[in-house]
Amino acid sequence: MTPTREEVGANDLDARLWLGALHRAADVSARAVSLESAAGDVMAQVCSAAGWPVAWLLAVAGGRVEPTHVWHMTDHDRYGSLLAVGDEEGMGAPLAARAVALGEPVWTGDLAEVGAVCTEAAHAGLSGALAFPIHDDGDGHGGVVVAVVQCFSVRAERPPPDVVAMAAAAVGQLGRVVDRERAAAASDEAVLMTEVAHDAYIAVDELGRIVEWNPEAEAVFGWSRAEAVGRPLVDLAVPARHHDDFIDHLGRVLAGDARPLAPRRELVALHRSGAEFPVQVTVWTNGRDGSRRICGFVRDLSERKRFEGQLASQALHDRLTGLPNRVLLRDRVEHALARAGRRGASVALLIADIDRFKLINESLGHDGGDRLLVAVGERLTELLRPGDTVARMGGDEFALLCEDIDGYKDAVSIAARVVGAFEKPFQVQGADMSLTASVGVAVGAVAGPAPELLLRDADVAMYRAKDGGRDRYEVFDETMLVDATERLSVEHDLRRGIAEGQLRLYYQPIVHLDTGAIAGFEALVRWQHPLRGLLPPLEFIPSAEETGLIVPLGRYVLQEACLEAARWGDIHPSGERLRISVNVSAKQLAQPGWSDEVAQTLAESGLAPRQLVLEITESVLMDDTDTTAVRLEELRRLGVRIAIDDFGTGYSSLGYLRRLPVDILKIDKSFIDGVAEGPHESALARAVVKLASTLRLEAVAEGINSRKQLLQLRRLRCPYGQGFYFSRPQPPAAIPRLLDLGALEGVDPGE
Ligand code: C2E
Ligand code: MG
Ligand code: MG
């Protein structure tokens, strides 16, 4: 029988094998997130090239050698007994200690030198051992020794010097991981380590010439490794206007006069095509004397920037008309008031609401209604001076902000112009449409009043214009506020409504998009008003929020929804797996002891915590107060899942996604609306689905209205969805039938 490579050890130096091993060791070390994770791979490479059957990683802490659990062995049956010995406390390891002291590879043919494992090693037929120090600067011979790789051989003779040298070089690569771990720790970003795995990795020598260029670098910059290596980095990847700074900085870093860039700096880079793009770089120096290198991770930020830009713009503009939305208007009002205060001028804010738009919308159909709104926006924009703002507040309500006006006189004349602007009919779908609007005007002259007050006043005046017969304007005055207090009666009514059991829950199915099977339901509240009929949440939730009534209202919803969901297990076999999603307001979340309340509600209803999903709108999470974080952690501990509702509408920063324990992203309907229209319209939905999968969150698409949207979302691999296409929200009585149906939209094999 011919002996195996391990049994004989490799006497000859197989250059091809070693080159492969070195290359792989460098690559693994450039990517690994920890020494332990890279060591196994590198030890396997070295053992296979050298013909050694066993290798073991030992850590060095405070000069002492410590065993680790990281081993490589070619034959577990044969060498497995070494593992148990390695676990023993207080093992002495003279060979490893000698490697630490010398800072160089050492060999022994006397296994007593390897410490506690020696007896087992001898039993397993091993005869010699080598210890390779790992230096913290990744250079193979400088810096401090932070770990040792100990390899065992079957032969008792010292391996040839070039085999030892090659193995030392491969093991030495592991120092890069340590070096980088330290750079990351210094940047206080543990996160970085998990992220860098997909980054471009580049290193340059002391002349600034590229020596390392991984496949990600090829993808990011457009130059292949063969083209890049040996050329100055500055020529390939740095825009010309930054050349001097770059070369200057590089020189000073290499001379030790400047620190490398702070971790995660954002810079501009150059692509092969000549295009510039934003990158984030983390740089460190490596090696000493003579062989200094500068290494770095480079991440392409263009995709993220584009996405953030789109989100930010979408968050501040109305998608249909492209006009500023309520958020941006509020900001402009605030600035306008501040400027007015300084200049002694006034600001007029007008709210224009189209009369009976609901009827018109129904007669024209959805598309026609949309086009009409766009036309109204355009006409109002033409009416104003360039510096003024026209915003769409939502639905059929527009706002106009005019600066530098001369008090009420000007405000009134603008209001008259706005009402007059509707006299000319609008052209929609080839027909003339006559519209009127009711306009409320408020004037502000000092920085003092909050923008909300001016908005409120204009709103009150607008309602007065509606009450006064529509197609007219009203200027706000204080007496109107008295009328507005009538609206307090809503509060009174609602308080009674909650107490007297007038709230109703409707349930909308959430389905697996690939099969249409029901995964759960979202509970949506309605108010059975004794005079006004069944009211949708938008008619009373805002005032419930304002008055604090949302807390008792939300309590009722949570209790009722849990009781209802707990029954599903009895009416259908799938019932025990279904989830129930309940909307939660910021005010509820802020209540001390609210998590206990949730726990109690679960216990009382008998619903399993894993069945409950709490939906919280994005803006609440973005505030990201300590209370929010603490509360979410408490809920997570209960076993309850957390969803971000209306994701994408309140964007400012995505950082909170990483910090808070979130399980589910509900993609706002506004992203889904355009999803079937084309690549441009679906880009954001695609990005959000991808973001969710990157962060390992479940994505739920909200407001799916058509089969086309469904098919496109399936293509984007969005796992869950809800919308009128599957089912409108249903009263509880309809649920057994839905569960019997099983799937609401099956896979169509023809698609
Ligand atoms: P949400 O949580 O984002 O709920 C989804 C809303 O989208 C529901 O409106 C649902 O009927 C509607 N919807 C679902 N599919 C479609 C579709 O295909 N097309 C269209 N046009 N709409 C669709 P709903 O029931 O009017 O609720 C509106 C909002 O009121 C909810 O938005 C939620 O923010 C709030 N809300 C509802 N119930 C509660 C509650 O119990 N507590 C709190 N705090 N808020 C609630
Ligand atoms: Mg919701
Ligand atoms: Mg939503």
> Is the pLDDT at 523 greater than 60, yes or no?
yes
Inside any domain, residue 145: yes
Inside any domain, residue 493: no
Do 607 and 736 lie in one domain? The reply is yes
From the alpha carbon of 668, which atom of ligand 1 is closest?
3
Cα separation, 136 vs 145, whole angstroms: 6
Tens digit of pLDDT for each residue in 560-613? 999 999 999 999 988 899 999 999 998 899 888 999 999 999 999 999 999 999
Given ligand 1 and candidates 511, 524, 526, 673, which is best to mutate, with the most ligand atoms within 8 Å of its CB? 524
Q: Which two tokens stand for residue 687?
A: 């990005």
What is the greatest pairwise CA distance in the chain? 108
Per-residue confidence (pLDDT) for residue 624, from 0 to 100? 56
Half-sphere exposure of 14 (CA within 13 A, CB side): 15
Q: Which among 106, 99, 69 is positioned nearest to 84, based on CA atoms?
A: 69
Out of 88-97, 225-234, 245-254, 469-478, pick the least confident.
Answer: 88-97
Do 50 and 135 lie in one domain? The reply is yes
Do 612 and 732 lie in one domain? The reply is yes
Note whether 714 and 513 are within 8 A (CB): yes
CA of 397 to the centre of ligand 1 (A): 20
Tens digit of pLDDT for each residue in 669-709? 988 988 888 777 788 788 888 888 878 899 999 999 999 99
Do 83 and 9 lie in one domain? The reply is yes
Of 162, 183, 204, which closes a domain?
183
What average pLDDT score do residues 518-531 get? Answer: 94
CA of 510 to the centre of ligand 3 (A): 12
> Is the pLDDT at 427 greater than 80, yes or no?
yes
The CA dihedral of 465, 471, 472, 477, to the nearest 10 degrees, is 10
Of 183, 199, 225, which closes a domain?
183
Q: Which positions ≥6 away from 688 have C-beta within 8 Å?
A: 647, 648, 665, 667, 671, 699
Do 592 and 728 lie in one domain? The reply is yes
Ligand 1 binding pocket (C-beta < 6 A) is 508, 524-525, 536-538, 541, 550, 554, 557, 583, 585, 615, 645-646, 702-705, 722-724, 729
Q: Which positions ≥6 away from 533 have C-beta within 8 Å?
A: none
CA of 508 to the centre of ligand 1 (A): 9
State the ligand closest to the CA atom of 721: 1
CATH number of domain containing 334:
3.30.70.270
Inside any domain, residue 236: yes
Q: Which two tokens stand for residue 27?
A: 């690559």
Cα separation, 89 vs 110, whole angstroms: 22
Q: Give ∠ CA 130-12-83 in degrees, rounded to 5.
A: 30
Tens digit of pLDDT for each residue in 292-329? 778 788 888 877 677 667 777 777 888 899 999 988 89
Tens digit of pLDDT for each residue in 679-690? 777 887 888 888
Residue nearest atom 22 of ligand 1, based on CA coordinates: 703
Given ligand 1 and candidates 504, 583, 705, which is best to mutate, with the most ligand atoms within 8 Å of its CB? 583
CA of 478 to the centre of ligand 3 (A): 37
Inside any domain, residue 535: no
Do 31 and 107 lie in one domain? The reply is yes
Cα separation, 489 vs 532, whole angstroms: 14
Do 161 and 14 lie in one domain? The reply is yes
CA of 596 to the centre of ligand 1 (A): 26
From the alpha carbon of 524, which atom of ligand 1 is closest?
38
Residue nearest atom 2 of ligand 1, based on CA coordinates: 583
CATH number of domain containing 583:
3.20.20.450
Per-residue confidence (pLDDT) for residue 746, from 0 to 100? 53
CATH number of domain containing 15:
3.30.450.40
Tens digit of pLDDT for each residue in 260-300? 655 567 788 999 888 888 888 877 776 544 567 787 888 88
CA of 32 to the centre of ligand 3 (A): 39
Inside any domain, residue 495: no
Cα separation, 310 vs 560, whole angstroms: 39
> Is the pLDDT at 3 greater than 50, yes or no?
no
Residue 165 belongs to domain spanning: 5-183
Q: Which two tokens stand for residue 18?
A: 């070693």
Using a 10 angstrom Cβ sphere, with 0-12 exposed, 13-18 middle and 19 or more buried, the burial of residue 621 is: buried
Inside any domain, residue 455: yes
Out of 35-44, 394-403, 675-684, 722-731, pick the least confident.
Answer: 675-684
Q: Which two tokens stand for residue 158?
A: 């010292």
Do 392 and 261 lie in one domain? The reply is no
CATH number of domain containing 237:
3.30.450.20
**Which SS3 state, helix, strand or coil, does residue 677 take?**
coil
Terminal-residue alpha carbon distance, the chain:
60
Using a 10 angstrom Cβ sphere, with 0-12 exposed, 13-18 middle and 19 or more buried, the burial of residue 693 is: middle
As a whole-number percent, the residues of the chain with pLDDT over 70 amount to: 87
Question: Roughly what angle, to the nearest 10 degrees, separates helices 174-186 and 15-31?
Answer: 10
Do 342 and 281 lie in one domain? The reply is no
Contacts of 419-424 with C-beta under 8 Å, sequence gap 24+, read: 419/471, 419/472, 419/473, 421/379, 421/380, 421/383, 422/471
CA of 315 to the centre of ligand 3 (A): 15
Per-residue burial over 425-442, b if 16 or more Cβ lie within 10 Å, else e, is ebebeeeebebebbbbbb
Cα separation, 327 vs 324, whole angstroms: 8
From the alpha carbon of 704, which atom of ligand 1 is closest?
18
> Rounded mean pLDDT of the chain?
84
Q: Which positions ≥6 away from 262 have C-beta within 8 Å?
A: 187
- Which one-letter DSSP state was computed for residue 648? T
Inside any domain, residue 459: yes
Do 137 and 203 lie in one domain? The reply is no
From the alpha carbon of 545, which atom of ligand 1 is closest?
44
Do 45 and 162 lie in one domain? The reply is yes
- Reported confidence tier of residue 653, pLDDT bands at 50, 70, 90: low
Strands 265-270 and 503-512: unpaired
Q: Which two tokens stand for residue 89?
A: 């406390």
Sheet holding 265-270, edge to edge: 210-213, 200-204, 293-300, 276-286, 265-270
State phi, psi for 551 to the nearest 5 degrees.
Answer: -70, -55
Do 706 and 593 lie in one domain? The reply is yes
Residue nearest atom 17 of ligand 1, based on CA coordinates: 703
**Total domain count, the chain:** 4
Per-residue confidence (pLDDT) for residue 327, from 0 to 100? 86
Q: Which two tokens stand for residue 165?
A: 């040298």
Inside any domain, residue 365: yes
